[in-house]
Structure 1
Amino acid sequence: MTSISVLGCGWLGLPLAKHLVTNGFAVKGSVRSEEKIESLEAVSVTPFVLDIDGEIAEQLWGAFLDSDILVIAIPSKNQTGFSALIRVLESSSIKHVVFVSSTSVYADNNGVVTEDIAASESSALFQIESLFYQSSVFTTTVIRFSGLVGYQRNPGLFFQKSGRSVSNPDAAVNMIHQDDCVELITQIIKQEKWNNLFNACADSHPSKREFYTQATQRIGVSTPEFIESDTQTFKIISNEKIKKALGYEFIYPDVMQITYDEC
């Protein structure tokens, strides 16, 4: 049985770990506090308490990294911590890494962004991605997600507090639902798409004005103030590569059709 360790069992990592278990994998998961251990045990995930910002040494991380595959699903930009993790990884049994990144590594280009577009070299996330690609001991696939929405992450709730506004209202949004994130990572693992770079975003790209107006109206929150501008800066993230590579059809291709029921 293929074994997988999921570093960071939070909003994305926990449902991913649960899904991997249901797909027949042996799964270990990490959290940063003892209080969260129960949530892992409840879905048959072997729990570990680890923190990328703490000490990273073989004696602390060795058992967690005794797996075939590591999925990194934490938002940290601690390059020192990741460098230390890579050193421990290179003496572990891990053969493949899936690193969850973000399309925020791309600057606005007022056009379509594919994986062939260079990321911003000043981006901390891009620099961390590069650290993983440099290793010759394991292979890394980076998946860059756009704005994460779904269960417990309703974009309309951001505007419950008054005074929050939206700039560039006619710029396109790039969003992806949690369910698609989970299934895309699962398919990368199942189909062994190693040593790759993928962008991941829903098919549709409505304007901020359309998206946030609908999101607030649905929950009875006042429509945000839109700061008008003569010029718009934007990017439209292409998902063509990942759809073709995996033969994947998005569960939520149209972000305007996403509902945000609690899970």
Structure 2
Amino acid sequence: MKLPQISIVGSGWLGGALATVLAEDYTIHISTTSVSKVETLKAQGFTPFVFSLGSTNTHEIPSFLEGSDIIIINFPPKRRIDAIETVYPQQVSALLPFIKEHQKVLFISSTSVYQNTNDWVTESLPLHPEKASGLAVRGAEQALQEALQERLTILRFSGLIGYDRLPGRFLANKKELRNGKSPVNVIHRDDCIGLIQRIIETKSWGEIFNGCSDEHPTREHFYTLAATRLGLTAPEFVQEQTPTNFKLISNRKSKEKLAYVYQFPDPLKLI
């Protein structure tokens, strides 16, 4: 029996692992910007396509999307690119002319679209990003929403951790860090994949979801413990009385509407 097909834009740290899991139930089309990855992706049982969004190399995109019921857009804005606020939405928008009316789209976004509120943040918050990366992602979300409307679901992930992405290395040996009392918002890669599977299984289109662990330890506690357990020099934080410039990402909607149970609800047990 022929399996249904999914196209995944991006074969990096999350996209590659996601493709491996979804391949149990779907035929996988996956994109890469590197010719050198083609044979590896083929060996994993995927059908790879080489193209770079935002370039003139778009002739592969129609074949990449053809036959797929679902398209998963999963590549973050690159750092240190001038005018990323406009470049990234343009890259994402380059897919729109080739998406058919029957196809559903899942956009892997980021909680960087939210400003610091010093309080809980839900999916209904009006967006006022404070950094260029957040502005870039918000721009991509808006372009997709205008074109796709109810055929689009947006999944906003907090900081990605798990496997070789070890948070103990992030701040090790750094000094005079601020906001040590602020809460941490992270999510394990397995929960990222689990949420994507639940959206597909429940056909939850036309939605926005946050993806984040249940617990939010302080930055000081989390990164100090993470570095210590790797045998690295723990970061040093400026001692402040109260937390400032933070947000607490709520995952309540993902648990209630998707009936999703987080596999790794406590970040302290991941380090």
Q: How big is the shift at 1:53?
A: 3.4
Q: In the alignment, residue 87 of structure 1 is paired with which amino acid?
A: P
**Could you tell me which residue of structure 1 aligns to residue 253 of structure 2?**
241
Please state if 1:3 is matched with 2:5: yes
Write out aligned runs for 1:9-24 (5 A). Answer: 9-22=11-24, 24=25
Q: How big is the shift at 1:41?
A: 1.9
Q: How big is the shift at 1:165?
A: 5.2
Q: TM-score, normalised by structure 1?
A: 0.90
Q: How big is the shift at 1:207?
A: 0.2
Q: In the alignment, residue 252 of structure 2 is paired with which amino acid?
A: E
**What SS class does the counterpart of residue 98 from structure 1 fall into?**
strand
Change (3 A) 1:84 1:56: farther
Structure 1 segments of 4+ aligned residues over 4 angstroms from their partners: none
Alignment length, in residue pairs? 254
Q: In the alignment, residue 18 of structure 1 is paired with which amino acid?
A: T
Q: Is contact 1:65–1:93 with CA below 8 Å preserved after alignment?
A: no
Change (3 A) 1:131 1:177: same
CA deviation digits over 1:155-206, x for unaligned, max 9?
111245x446532000000000000001111111111100100011000000
CA deviation digits over 1:3-56, x for unaligned, max 9?
10000010000000110012x111111111011123322321111112113225
Q: How big is the shift at 1:221?
A: 0.6
Q: Is contact 2:150–2:206 with CA below 8 Å preserved after alignment?
A: no
1:194 to 191, 205, 208: 205
Q: Is contact 1:149–1:175 with CA below 8 Å preserved after alignment?
A: yes
Identity, % of aligned positions: 38
Q: Give structure 2 stretches of 5+ with no counterpart.
A: 78-83
Q: TM-score, normalised by structure 2?
A: 0.88
Q: Is contact 1:159–1:221 with CA below 8 Å preserved after alignment?
A: no
Question: Counterparts of 2:262 and 2:149 in 1: how far apart (Å)?
Answer: 33
Q: In the alignment, residue 121 of structure 2 is paired with which amino acid?
A: V
Please state if 1:42 is matched with 2:53: no
**What SS class does the counterpart of residue 13 from structure 2 fall into?**
coil
Q: Give structure 1 stretches of 5+ with no counterpart.
A: none
**Could you tell me which residue of structure 2 aligns to residue 110 of structure 1?**
118
**Could you tell me which residue of structure 2 aligns to residue 144 of structure 1?**
156
The CA RMSD over aligned residues, in Å, is 1.8
Q: How big is the shift at 1:138?
A: 7.0
Write out aligned runs for 1:63-212 (5 A). Answer: 63-66=63-66, 67-76=68-77, 78-89=88-99, 92=100, 95-120=103-128, 123-136=135-148, 139-160=151-172, 162-163=173-174, 166-212=177-223
Question: Counterparts of 1:164 and 1:51 in 2: how far apart (Å)?
Answer: 39
